[in-house]
A = this chain, B = another copy of it.
């Protein structure tokens, strides 16, 4: 398979909605970085989280195995610190092999869920 992608990615928009109306993990409000690794080698990814009024958090480290995808929820990050809900943030990704990153949010604060998604901004 074609090793498609880039090694650096950025997502300026970040906000974990502080509340949910749906039931279960699938419908809980969340924000995800979907990472695709179409390489023969595992991708080691470092993520920095930037805020509006404090120093960045991280690096968070995840591994995406070769020929796999990881739909990483920012809600699930805990090391070195959780990403707070209800707070503006942004994120920057650096990988040792080319990957593709897509940003998705599910917001179920109100009665019916809302979705957004975009391919992140990539660079080498």
Contacts and interface: CB of A to CB of B under 8 A. Distances in A.
Interface string A81-106: 00000101110101000001111110
A45 interface: no
Stoichiometry, copies per complex: 4
B52 A36 contact: no
Interface size class, chain A = 35 or more
A121 B4 contact: yes
B10 A110 contact: no
Nearest to A86: B26
Interface in A39-53: 48, 50-53
27 contacts: A2-B8, A2-B94, A2-B123, A4-B121, A4-B123, A10-B100, A12-B100, A13-B32, A13-B102, A22-B110, A36-B90, A38-B48, A38-B92, A51-B68, A52-B71, A53-B68, A55-B67, A100-B121, A102-B121, A104-B116, A107-B113, A110-B111, A111-B111, A111-B112, A116-B117, A117-B118, A119-B121
